[in-house]
Amino acid sequence: MKNYNIERRNFKTQNISIKCSQNEKERIIRNAKKQNKSISQYVVDCAMAAQENRKTRDKKRASQMVCNQVLLEQLKNILAQRPDDAEVNETMRLLEEGMNRLWEN
């Protein structure tokens, strides 16, 4: 019975309607034909691929943010030894605020 439910869940019985321009529609149809796919399968594949790309991009972004934070901390330590440069300290403060805003989102 369990296998039947899994197979049944994979049947394509659901509909989604999308609005697009005439040019977009023609482009979707043309690209689906190029890939020998139905329009439905082409749109589903594109949506799933975009979701995977977003996950990969988010992982890369998070990794870069961690690296940036490490560099920012190193800069703070270096600048702490030179407290007399107001312009550099203000720029550092703004950079730190910007990094904090990135972490919040």
| Structural domain contains residue 29 | yes
| Structural domain contains residue 94 | yes
Per-residue pLDDT for 1 more than 60?
no
| Structural domain contains residue 97 | yes
Per-residue model confidence as pLDDT tens digits over 37-78: 999 888 888 888 887 777 777 777 778 888 888 888 888 788
Per-residue model confidence as pLDDT tens digits over 15-30: 888 888 999 999 999 9
The domain of 78 spans: 20-104
Distances (CA, A) of 40 to 15, 32, 36, 79: 9, 9, 12, 57
| Structural domain contains residue 5 | no
CA angle (73, 76, 100) in 5-degree steps: 60
| Structural domain contains residue 37 | yes
> What is the number of structural domains in the chain?
1
